[in-house]
Amino acid sequence: MRALTFLARRFVAGDTIDEAVEAVRVLNRDGLKATLDNLGEETKTREEAESACREYVAALRKIAEAEADCNISLKLTQFGLNLDESLARDNLARVLEEARKLGNFARIDMEGSDYTQKTLDLFYSLFPEPFANVGVVIQSALRRSEQDVAELVRRKARVRLVKGAYKEPAGIAFQKKSEVDENYDRLAAMLVKAPMPAFGTHDDRRIAGAVSAARAAGLAKTDYEIQMLYGVRPKRWRELAREGHRVRVYVPYGTHWLPYYSRRIRERKENLFFALRGIFSD
Ligand SMILES: Cc1cc2nc3c(=O)[nH]c(=O)nc-3n(C[C@H](O)[C@H](O)[C@H](O)COP(=O)(O)OP(=O)(O)OC[C@H]3O[C@@H](n4cnc5c(N)ncnc54)[C@H](O)[C@@H]3O)c2cc1C
C-alpha cells in the first residue's frame, strides 16, 4: 500500500488544501489555470457528505486568500447523491453560494451512468437560476451524449467534454475507442456554440479537432479551455499555454485517492509505473 501511495503521488497534489493550493500556485506561475478536486465519491453517511461540502467551502476560501487562478470540481456522490438527492442538492447549493460570493465557479464532474440523468437533473434545477456559476461534464463514450449536448447548448451551459472514465455496457456506450473518439470530435464541434467550452483530454488529435472547430466558429484562443489532469503530460500543458491557449489543470488532493488512481491505471497501464520510469514527461 505504501508503494501505491508513492506512485499515486504523481497524480495527487497532496493530502491537504494547503498542499493543493501550493501546487496551484506553481501552475499559475507558469500561466496555467487550475481546478481543485477534493478526492471522494459514493459517501456512506450524511455526515461524510456534509463534511465534503464544508471542505469545498474551505477550499474556496483558501483559493480566494491565495488569489489563485483556480475553480473547483466536485462529484455529486461525494455530496450524498447516492443517499438522498435533496441532501446532494443542499450541499451543492451551499458550495455554489460561497463560490458566487467569492466570484468563483464550480464544475460538476460526471460519474458512472447510474448518475448521468440525476446529475443533469440536479444541474438543470440550479442553472442558470439561482446559480449561473456552475457547469457540468459530458462523456463522449455515452450514446445519449449528443442529445444531452444539444440541450446543454440550447441552455447556454458551460460544459467540459471528456471521453469518460467509467466502464459502461454496450447498450448505452460506445465500446470501440474509434467510436468514442469520433463522437468526441462531433460533440466538440457542437459545443463551440456554448459559452467557454472545455475540452478535457490528453489526446492531441482530439485537441486539434476541437481547436479547429473553435476557430471555424470564430472563437479566439481565450474563448475555450483545454483541460488536462495533474501529473499527465505536464510539458504539453506548458506548450499549449505558450501557444496562447487557456489551459486548466485538474488538481486532485486528499486521502481518498484509490478510485481516482484506479481509473488512471485502467486508462493507461503505464500509469502504474511511470513515476518510477519517468516515461510520461511529454
Ligand atoms: C480535466 C479532465 C477532467 C475529467 N473529468 C472527468 C469526469 O468528470 N468524468 C469522467 O468520466 N472522466 C473525466 N475525465 C477522464 C476522461 O474521461 C478520460 O478517462 C481521460 O482523460 C483519458 O482519456 P484521454 O482523453 O486523455 O484519451 P486516451 O484515449 O486515454 O488517450 C489518447 C491519447 O492521448 C495521449 N495520452 C494520454 N495519456 C497520456 C500520457 N499519460 N502521456 C502521454 N500521452 C498520453 C496518447 O497519445 C494517447 O494515445 C477527465 C479528464 C480530464 C483531462
Q: Is the CB of 10 under 6 A from ligand 1?
A: no
Catalytic residue list contains 15: no
Q: Looking at residue 3, what is its pLDDT?
A: 57
Domain annotation covers residue 109: yes
Number of H helices, E strands in the chain: 11, 8
Residues 11-29 have pLDDT tens digits of 899 999 999 999 999 999 9
Q: Looking at residue 259, what is its pLDDT?
A: 84
Other Cβ atoms within 10 Å of 84 Cβ, number: 12
The ligand 1 atom nearest the CA atom of 139: 11
Give the C-alpha separation, 180 to 167, whole Å.
13
Secondary structure element (H or E) that encloses residue 261, with its range: helix 258-267
- Among residues 45, 200, 82, which one has the least CA distance to residue 136? 200
Catalytic residue list contains 107: no
Residue nearest to atom 52 of ligand 1 (CA): 200
Residues 53-101 have pLDDT tens digits of 999 999 999 999 999 999 999 999 999 999 999 999 999 999 999 999 9
Domain annotation covers residue 6: yes
Q: Which residues pair with 74 in a beta bridge?
A: 108
24-29: which pairs have CB atoms within 8 A and are 24 or more residues apart?
24/63, 24/66, 24/68, 24/69, 24/70, 24/251, 25/66, 25/68, 27/237, 27/249, 27/251, 28/68, 28/69, 28/70
Q: What is the pLDDT along the chain (282 residues), one digit of tens a residue?
A: 555 566 677 889 999 999 999 999 999 999 999 999 999 999 999 999 999 999 999 999 999 999 999 999 999 999 999 999 999 999 999 999 999 999 999 999 999 999 999 999 999 999 999 999 999 999 999 999 999 999 999 999 999 999 999 999 999 999 999 999 999 999 999 999 999 999 999 999 999 999 999 999 999 999 999 999 999 999 999 999 999 999 999 999 998 888 887 888 888 776 666 555 444 455
Other Cβ atoms within 10 Å of 144 Cβ, number: 15
Domain annotation covers residue 282: no
pTM for the model stands at 0.94
Q: Looking at residue 279, what is its pLDDT?
A: 44
Q: Is the CB of 199 under 6 A from ligand 1?
A: no
For residue 219, the one-letter residue type is L
Do residues 14 and 5 make contact, with C-beta atoms less than 8 angstroms apart?
Answer: no
The ligand 1 atom nearest the CA atom of 203: 34
Q: Looking at residue 236, what is its pLDDT?
A: 98
> What's the Cα-to-Cα distance from 282 to each of 83, 137, 232, rounded to whole Å?
41, 26, 9
Residues 221-231 have pLDDT tens digits of 999 999 999 99
Give the C-alpha separation, 253 to 40, whole Å.
9
- Number of structural domains (the chain) is 1
Domain annotation covers residue 232: yes
The CATH number of the domain where 11 resides is what? 3.20.20.220
Full residue range of the structural domain in which residue 100 is found: 2-277
Q: Looking at residue 51, what is its pLDDT?
A: 96
Which residue is catalytic, options 109, 148, 246, 264?
Answer: 109
